[in-house]
Amino acid sequence: MDQKVLCRFIQEGYFERHLNKMRNIYRKKREALVGEILRLNNRRIEIIGADAGLHILLKINNGMNEEQLVSSALKTGIRVYGLSRYYLEDCDTSRPIVLLGYAALTEDKIKKAIRILDKVWF
């Protein structure tokens, strides 16, 4: 039964419409995130991978290490993740890179979070 429902869902174009809707939603969220970061005009932030996935990477050059960036953000209620947690082997965290996911946030929450991180990190 499930397969028949899925088959009909795909054949009648519902799946394609759903994908298009979700692409637009996530594109707007990504644009809000990247736009807010660029609006800061902070040369100590480098955005990496803004056109891939539902997250971005930020290379932060403010004198803090990865652990300090993650913990200071968490103290404000914002979860960011150090890239080193995704490495199989030890890596150099002296030039910290953090991962920010945005899929579950509204555009307003994204903008607010970036403003908070700007205050905490700089």
Q: How many domains does the chain have?
A: 1
Rounding to the nearest 10 degrees, give the CA dihedral for residues 62, 68, 73, 76.
-120
Q: What is the CATH number of the domain that holds 41?
A: 3.90.1150.10
pLDDT tens, position by position, 10-65: 999 999 999 999 999 999 999 999 999 999 988 999 999 888 889 999 999 999 99
pTM of the model: 0.86
Domain extent, residue 72, equals 2-121
